[in-house]
Amino acid sequence: MATCPFAQGRTVTVRVTAERFRFSPDEIKIRCGETVEFRLESDDTDHGFRILGTGIDRVIPKRGRGSIAVKFTPDKAGRYIFECSKLCGAGHEFMHGVLVVED
């Protein structure tokens, strides 16, 4: 992974819905040096949102209980996997996505 120059300083807001063992969208692309603000909500039960290799691990409240915002500024270009970190049912292990940080 190449190091980001952090020259851009722009924040990109992405709405992500968690429901029935998937995130939508499940692939998000940003440019190196940008911050992504995930606006997370659930269409069913409580879910988790964890970005592997970082300290980010939050609970997304179940439908009707609001949403959460999570900001992340990657320090390198590459692929960052995010996943549900709260056991949510039989398909829990399939609930993941990727943040692609491009040079």
Please report, for the domain that includes residue 91, its CATH number.
2.60.40.420
**Would you say residue 27 lies in a domain?**
yes
The domain of 34 spans: 11-102
Q: Name the nearest CA neighbour of 49 among 102, 99, 103.
A: 99
**Would you say residue 2 lies in a domain?**
no
**Would you say residue 6 lies in a domain?**
no
**Would you say residue 21 lies in a domain?**
yes
Give the SS3 label for residue 63: coil
Q: Which residues of 32-53 are buried (b: 16+ CB within 10 A; e: fewer)?
A: bbbbbebebbbeeebbbbbbee
**Would you say residue 81 lies in a domain?**
yes
Span 57-74, pLDDT tens digits:
999 999 989 999 999 999
- pLDDT surpasses 60 at 4: yes
**Would you say residue 3 lies in a domain?**
no
Span 47-59, pLDDT tens digits:
999 999 999 999 9
Question: Residue 91: CB partners within 8 Å, gap ≥ 6?
Answer: 20, 21
User: Into how many domains does the chain fold?
Assistant: 1
Please compute the mean of the pLDDT values over residues 32-57 and round it to a whole number. Answer: 96
